[in-house]
Each structure stands twice: as structure tokens, then as C-alpha cells.
Amino acid sequence: MNIVLGNIVLVSTILIFASIGSFLTERSGIPNISVEAILLVSSFGYAIIHDKMQSQGYGAMFLGIIVSIVIAIVFSWILVLTFIKLRANTILVGTGLNMLSIPLTMSLVKVSAKSSQGINIDLLESMKINNFPWVYLIFLLLGILMIIATIFVMLKTRYGILINGAGENPHALHLAGLKVNSIRFLTGTVGAAFAGVAGALICHFSTGGSSFYKGTTAYGLGFISLGIVILSQWRSKWIGLFAIMFGITFSISYKITYLTNNLNHVQLMMISAIPYLIPIVILPIISKSHNFPKQMGVPFIANKRGE
């Protein structure tokens, strides 16, 4: 039971951070389908710090998180800058980043790992997922605090209005003398930083705290976070709720064998597909009253008239 609870807390935290990152980026008008790639690449940064520092403790953990944030920011700049400066189609660039991330991480792991199995991550007993670690509860609380902060920033501060403006009506911001692309760039960077934290925690999820990191997958959690943002209709107040709901569903489906032994292969696979089935069922119900940023995916060109 502890392992399932540990997974619920950890996955919910990952989804909260990844969804906030994705939400901020999309709210400013940059469609971000490369969250999966950002999670995967930043998780490598975390793993390599653990390997290089030869440390199991909290010091390596926090340094690893900082490094994965930096990697996530640098990686996401490919998406943000190609959109802002080169007016590229972000769906295709995001797909390109998703294509790029797996071989890149696997090759980096192969070059840098001392063992042929991958990078060895052996955390303290108190951080291993099997023991329901309290440290992840702290991260979950931090995630919830971040959601509250995001709601506050989006609804009550000037920066929130600017982010919304960049996604909804960038020409109005431009007329007010503000730099739309700078706001988009800054928000994209902040969003990537959140995804970087999630990426670091992916590393704990993939190894469980005591095995080899291979850098092959982010378990589709990036795509789920994308689904969360769309299900929450780009409203900050719903993100936390959906993230925890998906965290519970994903963890139970992933670790169902720890709860019951009576399920056959078909039932196990069907349960595993539930997190991806939920958006398909809910989206038609809620999408009619959509609230997506009007200028999402439209590069800002100052002298171009809108429709």
C-alpha cells in the first residue's frame, strides 16, 4: 500500500509542476506539446548530478533540481525562440523536440554512465518510493503552494494580465507600449523552470530510488499534463484538481498489481489506458465552452492587422 501512496504523491507532484509549466507557456500564446521532451531531458540533468556527486542525500537532490531546471529552460528555448523569432509552427517543432529527446537522452546516458545498465541512482532510504517518503509530501505541498501562487499571479497581479494579454490580444499590449515577445519569452522560460522540477522528480519515479536510470521515457506524463491543461480549460484554479485526479488514476493503474493479484493481463492493460481515456470522454463535454487563448500559436507580428 505504501508504494501506491508514494506513487500517488510523487506522480501528482510531477503532474502539478508539469501542468503549471505547460499552462503558463500556453496562456502566453505558445502551444507546448514538447513537455514530454522537456521532462525527459531535464531528468537526465538530475541523474547526472547524482552520478557525479556520488551522493545520496538532499544536497545532491537540490543541486540536481537546479541543474534540471537550467537544462529544461535551455531546451525549451528551442521551442520558444523558434516561435517568437522564426515564426515556426510550434506543433511541428514540439513534435521534433519529442523525436529528438529520446535518442539524445539515451545517447547521453550511454556516454556518461559508468555501468552499461544506465546511471546508478541510489537514494537515501528516506527518499525511496517504496517507504512512502515524506519528502515527496513536502514537494506536493510546494506544488499546491505554486498553484495558489499561479492563481494569485494570474488573477490579481499585473504580470498575470500581461500573460493573458499576450495570449488573448497581443496587439493591445503592443499598443500599450509593451513588448509582447519579451513577455512570451519570459513566461515560456518560467514555464520551463516548472517543467524542470517535474523532470527531476521523474528521475525518482523511473528508478524508484534504487536502480538504474536509462533515460528512455517520461512515461507519457508530459502528454497527460497537456491533457490536464486542456481539461482545465486553461484556468489556473482547476489545474491542481485535475493533476491530483490524474496522479491518483495513473499511479493506481501503474501499480495496480500491488493492490490486487486477481487481475488478468487484459484488465491490467485496460486500467493502464484509463488516464488517456479520461480526456477523450471529458473533452467533448467541456470543450464547447472553451477558454483557450485566442492568439495561441499565432506569432506576434507588430505591423500585421488582426482579423
Q: Out of 138, 141, 270, 302, which residue is the one contacting other proteins (CB under 8 A)?
A: 270
Site membership for other proteins, residue 280 (CB under 8 A): yes
Residue 298 lies near other proteins (rule: CB under 8 A): no
Comparing CB distances to other proteins, the nearer of 35 and 60 is 35
Minimum distance from residue 60 beta carbon to other proteins (Å): 25
CB burial of 242-269 (b: ≥16 within 10 Å; e: otherwise) equals: bbbbbbbbbbbbbbbeeeeeeeeeeeee
Q: How many residues bind other proteins (CB under 8 A)?
A: 47
Closest to 58 measured CA to CA, from 50, 70, 67: 50
Of 1 and 86, CB closest to other proteins: 86
Radius of gyration of the chain from its Cα atoms, rounded to whole angstroms: 19
Told to check if 195 binds other proteins by CB under 8 A, we report no
Task: Give the nearest distance from C-beta 242 to other proteins in angstroms.
Answer: 13
Asked if 57 is part of the footprint of other proteins (rule: CB under 8 A), the reply reads no
Q: Which of residues 71-130 bind other proteins (CB under 8 A)?
A: 78, 82, 85-89, 91-93, 95-104, 106-108, 110-111
List 117, 126, 157, 287, residue binding other proteins (CB under 8 A): 287
Interacting positions 127-146 with other proteins (CB under 8 A):
none
Distance of CA 268 to the CA centre of its chain: 26
Q: According to DSSP H, which parts of 221-262 are helical?
A: 221-231, 236-254
CB of 272 to other proteins, least distance (A): 6
CA-nearest of 252, 240, 255, 244 to 208 is: 255
How many other CB atoms sit within 10 Å of the CB of residue 103? 11
183 near other proteins, judged by CB under 8 A: no
Q: Is residue 38 within the footprint of other proteins (CB under 8 A)?
A: no
> Could you say whether residue 302 binds other proteins (CB under 8 A)?
no
Q: Which residues lie below 8 Å from residue 168, measured CB to CB, with a gap of 6+?
A: 293, 294, 295
Q: And the C-alpha cell for 95?
A: 513534435
Task: Give CA–CA dist 72/68, Å, rounded.
Answer: 6
- Using alpha carbons, select from 225, 222, 275, 293 the residue that is nearest to residue 19: 225
Cβ contact 240:144 at 8 Å: yes
Judged by CB, which is closer to other proteins: 96, or 160?
A: 96
In angstroms, give the least distance from the CB of 294 to other proteins.
13
Q: Interface mask (CB under 8 A) for other proteins, residues 224-253, using x and -?
A: --xx--x-----------------------
Cβ atoms 112, 51 nearer than 8 A: yes
Would you say 48 and 258 are in contact if contact means Cβ atoms under 8 Å apart? no
Cα–Cα distance for residue pair 18/13, rounded to 1 Å: 9
Question: Which residue from 115, 176, 260, 266 is in contact with other proteins, where contact means CB under 8 A?
Answer: 266
Pick one of 283, 291, 294, 302: the residue that binds other proteins (CB under 8 A). Answer: 283
Sites of contact with other proteins (CB under 8 A): 33, 78, 82, 85-89, 91-93, 95-104, 106-108, 110-111, 220, 223, 226-227, 230, 265-266, 269-270, 272-273, 276-277, 279-280, 283-284, 287-288, 290, 292
